[in-house]
Amino acid sequence: MSQATQLGRRAVRIGTLSIGDGTPVAVIGGDDARWVSLRGHHGRSSADEVIGKARAGWPGPLLVEPFSAADLGAVAGHADGVVIGAAWMQDFRLVQAVARVGLPVVVQRGQAATLEEWLAIADYCAAEGNDQVVLCESGSRTHLGGTTLDLALMRAAAERSGRPVLADLGDDPALAPAAVAAGADGLLLSCGATSEVAEAAHEAASVVGALVRPEAPGSVSAARAAIDRVDAALATLLERRIALAGTVQRLKPVGGFRGRDMDRERRLVAAMARRAPSLGEARLAPVMNAVIEAGLRVAEEDSRR
Ligand SMILES: O=C(O)C(=O)C[C@]1(C(=O)O)C=C[C@@H](O)C=C1
């Protein structure tokens, strides 16, 4: 997605969390926001109790998936946003009632819903005067069993609607990097996601996000947080580069500082300068010299072990 398309999109605020519009990829069910589902309780638990407990344990942005419209009073009192669950997506009365609460709405795509049907639910909310809608791709039933995420559909929803989109990863962070690369503004984890799952999703959001998503921070702290994500990507790549440079040293007839190939170094700096034109060859050369020498030192230390 081009930066222009991204910046032209309608960001949605859920409590203190902003989703879309040049903001970092959010992890919901992780560090950025939490959610609870009253569906899991089959409407048997008191909404007030379940939401109150969630609120007591988490001061940040909180979303709630209601079991029915009867829960919406409690939701309005304690939550920052409402999730319309995939199984409920075409319950038009519930959708209408949820939209009227006035909180931001996350619309999960029903397992068999088409793009048109999904986008129509967002329009339903807008027709009720609530345009704070985020679309969440929650997967379709397929021959693989369970549900299979359709990241192309998620991307099409973002492009067609201009609304922020989430990828529902449940308890499996394996597709987190792909979802971020496909343009997800946020990753939705299951309500009970473990800290390992949340950490993996957060890592993908930071590292892959830094590579593929331009951000538009508007404050020093937001710009520093964006720099931290870029540094996380840089460190990941540097670690990988050190390992590969070590492999070359072992494979070359003469490795280490003695086998240095300055012509190769000049060529790689020139190639990098094409991707980093603001630095250019002259400024990149000392940076890469330091990186290469650090790699050679690590390789020589490793060879002595
Ligand atoms: O390509 C090589 O021959 C390497 O040894 C790798 C490497 C590098 O880190 O990229 C390191 C030293 C050489 O002078 C050139 C490049």
Name the residue ranges covered by the structural domains of the chain. 3-216, 222-304
Instruction: Say whether 82 sits in a helix, a strand or coil.
Output: strand
Residue to mutate (ligand 1; options 258, 260, 269, 302; most atoms within 8 A of CB): 260
Question: Average pLDDT for consecutive 10-residue bins of the chain (305 residues)?
Answer: 50 95 91 91 80 94 96 94 96 97 98 97 97 97 87 97 97 97 97 96 95 90 95 97 98 96 98 98 98 98 92
Closest ligand 1 atom to 292 CA: 9
Q: Identify the pLDDT of residue 8.
A: 54
For residue 93, the CA-to-ligand 1 centroid distance in Å is 65
Could you tell me the two tokens for 218? 């508007």
For residue 230, the CA-to-ligand 1 centroid distance in Å is 24
Rounded to 10 degrees, what is the CA torsion of 237, 30, 199, 190? -110
For residue 262, the CA-to-ligand 1 centroid distance in Å is 8
Q: How far is CA 299 from CA 38, 64, 183, 258, 274, in A?
A: 55, 52, 38, 12, 28
For residue 281, the CA-to-ligand 1 centroid distance in Å is 17
Instruction: Say whether 194 sits in a helix, a strand or coil.
Output: coil
For residue 252, the CA-to-ligand 1 centroid distance in Å is 10
For residue 233, the CA-to-ligand 1 centroid distance in Å is 22
Closest ligand 1 atom to 249 CA: 5
Ligand 1 pocket, residue 293 CB under 6 Å: no
Ligand 1 pocket, residue 292 CB under 6 Å: yes
Q: Identify the pLDDT of residue 159.
A: 96
Q: Identify the pLDDT of residue 144.
A: 77
Give this complex's ipTM: 0.99
Outline where DSSP puts E strands in 115-255. Answer: 133-137, 140-141, 147-148, 165-170, 186-189
Could you tell me the two tokens for 188? 């939705």
Q: What is the rounded CA–CA span in Å between residue 137 and residue 128?
A: 22
- The class level of CATH for 3-216 reads alpha beta
For residue 278, the CA-to-ligand 1 centroid distance in Å is 24
Residue to mutate (ligand 1; options 252, 267, 292, 298; most atoms within 8 A of CB): 292
